[in-house]
Chain A
Amino acid sequence: GQQLNQSPQSMFIQEGEDVSMNCTSSSIFNTWLWYKQEPGEGPVLLIALYKAGELTSNGRLTAQFGITRKDSFLNISASIPSDVGIYFCAGLDTSGTYKYIFGTGTRLKVLA
Chain B
Amino acid sequence: DAGVTQSPTHLIKTRGQQVTLRCSPKSGHDTVSWYQQALGQGPQFIFQYYEEEERQRGNFPDRFSGHQFPNYSSELNVNALLLGDSALYLCASSLHTDQPQHFGDGTRLSIL
A and B bind: yes
A residues sitting closer than 8 Å to B (CB atoms) are 1, 3-4, 31, 33, 35, 40-45, 48, 88, 90, 92, 94, 97-105
Contact present for B42 and A100 (CB under 8 Å): no
Distance in angstroms from B37 CB to nearest chain A CB is 9
Question: A residues within 8 A CB of B106?
Answer: 41-42
Contact present for A98 and B100 (CB under 8 Å): no
| A45 in contact with B101 given A88-B43, A98-B56 (CB within 8 Å) | yes
Cβ-neighbour of B42 out of A3, A48, A92 (below 8 A): A3
Distance in angstroms from B93 CB to nearest chain A CB is 11
Query: How far is A33 from B35 in the complex, measured between Cα atoms in Å?
Result: 16
Question: A residues within 8 A CB of B81?
Answer: none
Distance in angstroms from B102 CB to nearest chain A CB is 6
Distance in angstroms from B77 CB to nearest chain A CB is 20
